[in-house]
Amino acid sequence: MILDVMLIVGAYVLGSIPFGVLVSRACGGVDVRRVGSGNIGATNVLRAVGKGAAAFTLLGDIGKGAAAIGLGRWFGMSATLLAVMALAAVFGHLLPLFTGFRGGKGVATTLGVVLAAMPAVGGLLLLIWLIVAAIWRYSSLAALSAMAAMPVLTWLLDGRLPMLTLSMILVVVVFWRHRENIVRLYEGTEGKIGERARASNSQIVK
């Protein structure tokens, strides 16, 4: 029981690592929380700093989710505990300990935990994201499309109840975090991939 709690807490701490903040400061001296949407994810980093910083952020956010599941696998944890650790990692990204609980929208970290826990499902989610993003150039639409497919793919390709439950919870969480994006997509005002962000306060970190 103590080990289970430690692993869940460890997954949350891993998820809390704010790669978007760290990379943006290192690469451009920018506080990404004060630019554009204020989101610490790769899409806002792309707009605020550039492609390289966004790529590092994306890999970091995916990697911390995968690392959380890898940690659970190392200790031989059950599918149920792996699912709980996956949620802890994603909520670490949404409500990170190190940035005053102001985090991102959870898509990359969700992809990381799914890739590690269900590789076939994760691979297809990534493919869906890439196809939608390439055609319509909306990161939010690509993320929502991939997330919407996740429960069906989990049911078809994995079938474990803990993982199916995890996928349904993550869909609700990600859609909720994207509620403003959904409104902008409907209104036609959503920013496309590659558009530059405008500073909301002071862009440069002193």
Whether residue 206 has pLDDT greater than 80 = no
Going by pLDDT thresholds of 50, 70 and 90, the confidence category of residue 9 is very high
Mean pLDDT value across residues 87-105: 95
Under a CB-based contact definition with an 8 Å cutoff, are residues 39 and 105 in contact? yes
Under a CB-based contact definition with an 8 Å cutoff, are residues 60 and 49 in contact? no
Residues 6+ apart with CB under 8 A from 183: none
- Give 129-141 pLDDT, tens digit per residue: 999 999 999 999 9
Amino acid in position 134? A
Alpha carbons 48 and 107: distance in angstroms, whole number: 19
Going by pLDDT thresholds of 50, 70 and 90, the confidence category of residue 37 is confident
pLDDT of residue 203: 39
Going by pLDDT thresholds of 50, 70 and 90, the confidence category of residue 35 is confident
Alpha-carbon radius of gyration of the chain = 16
Write out the two tokens for 151: 């429960």
Which DSSP string corresponds to 72-97? Answer: HHHTT--HHHHHHHHHHHHHHHHS-G
Mean pLDDT value across residues 170-188: 96
Mean pLDDT value across residues 115-127: 97
Alpha carbons 128 and 53: distance in angstroms, whole number: 23
Whether residue 163 has pLDDT greater than 70 = yes
In the chain, the N- to C-terminal Cα span, in Å, equals 45
Going by pLDDT thresholds of 50, 70 and 90, the confidence category of residue 36 is confident
Mean pLDDT value across residues 60-80: 97
Going by pLDDT thresholds of 50, 70 and 90, the confidence category of residue 200 is very low
pLDDT of residue 198: 52
Q: DSSP state, 98? A: G
Of 193, 191, 198, nearest to 38 (Cα)?
A: 198
Taking all residues of the chain, what is their mean pLDDT, rounded to a whole number? 92
pLDDT of residue 196: 66
* Top mean-pLDDT range of 40-44, 102-106, 151-155: 151-155
pLDDT of residue 20: 96
